[in-house]
């Protein structure tokens, strides 16, 4: 049986490699009880070497603060563009789609704008920058959701935005998130955005999450939904094997680019 020091070394090496571990998995791999690994994780957390969140542990603090669009847009740009191009290829002629606010979803709007020939579709969005960009395309009909404009995201939110959804029904909802956590689900940084995202999910036949690999194992303040309510995830190839396994176990279609 491994010593305490050997177990701690194993845990930290796994975290260094994947950025995320599940206590159940480590217990099975080492042939010890989950109680033992929980104690190990607690000791390592007390030394500031990891963060424990329910049944898992992470190297970095998983809590995400609300950031403005310009800051988000400067992060992981190439991965977001690849994700966006892949998502744009999922759009079919005659589709009615919803697009949430966010840097990756704006990259999606740019990818749609560049499609040749341009599709004939309806787009519903709270994101003013997306509305302005896609309104330039003759074959795209844009429905801008009303409400109060949030300065950090250039998007509407609140009761007005939710009420603007009315009786709309769309085939696909392209959702950008601030975090994807097996325990907490898909999250965003503000309650107002969480409420609107839930409404948009309910009004769509399929929810497609667009998230670069840095979002996995993170979580924001507002819980949009559990992970099993997601139909498709598009991310980049840097996602960890452990997170891939969790997503596939949940029955979610995973596309890496």
- What tens digit of pLDDT does each residue of 195-237 get? 999 999 999 999 999 999 988 887 788 899 999 999 999 999 9
Task: Please give the share of the chain, as a percent, with pLDDT higher than 70.
Answer: 94
Which value, to the nearest 10 degrees, does the dihedral of the CA atoms of residues 67, 68, 69, 71 take? -70
With beta carbons less than 8 A apart as the criterion, state whether 203 and 168 touch: yes
- What is the Cα–Cα distance from 67 to 59, expressed in whole angstroms? 21
Please give the pLDDT value at position 143. 96
Query: pLDDT tens digits for 177-201?
Result: 988 988 789 999 888 999 999 999 9
Sign for the CA dihedral angle at 186, 69, 149, 114 comes to negative
Query: pLDDT tens digits for 19-57?
Result: 778 889 899 999 999 999 999 998 988 888 888 877 888
What 3-state class would DSSP assign to 210? strand
**Would the pLDDT of 96 be above 70?**
yes
Which pTM does this prediction carry? 0.77
Structure tokens at 199: 């409404």
Rounded alpha-carbon distances, angstroms, from residue 251 to 142, 161, 248: 32, 31, 5
With beta carbons less than 8 A apart as the criterion, state whether 169 and 135 touch: no
């Amino acid at each position: 049986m491994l010593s305490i020091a050997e177990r701690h070394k194993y845990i930290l090496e796994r975290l260094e490699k994947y950025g995320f571990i599940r206590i159940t998995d480590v217990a099975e791999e080492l042939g010890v009880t989950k109680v033992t690994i929980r104690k190990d994780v607690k000791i390592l957390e007390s030394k500031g070497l990891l963060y424990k969140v329910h049944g898992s542990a992470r190297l970095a603090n998983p809590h995400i603060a609300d950031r403005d669009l310009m800051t988000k847009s400067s992060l992981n740009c190439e991965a977001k563009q690849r994700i966006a191009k892949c998502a744009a290829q999922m759009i079919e002629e005659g589709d009615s789609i919803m697009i949430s606010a966010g840097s990756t979803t704006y990259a999606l709007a740019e990818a749609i704008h560049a499609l040749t020939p341009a599709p004939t579709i309806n787009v519903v969005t709270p994101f003013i920058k997306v509305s302005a960009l896609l309104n330039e395309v003759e074959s795209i009909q844009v429905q801008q959701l009303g409400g109060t404009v949030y300065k950090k995201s250039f998007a509407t939110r609140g009761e007005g935005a939710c009420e603007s959804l009315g009786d709309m029904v769309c085939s696909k909802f392209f959702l950008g998130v601030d975090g994807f956590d097996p325990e907490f689900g898909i999250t965003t940084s503000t309650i107002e955005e969480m409420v609107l995202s839930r409404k948009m999910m309910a009004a769509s036949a399929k929810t497609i999450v667009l998230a670069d690999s840095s979002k996995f194992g993170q979580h924001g303040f507002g819980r949009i939904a559990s992970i099993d309510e997601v139909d498709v995830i598009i991310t980049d190839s840097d996602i960890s094997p452990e997170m891939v396994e969790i997503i596939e176990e949940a029955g979610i279609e995973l596309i890496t680019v």
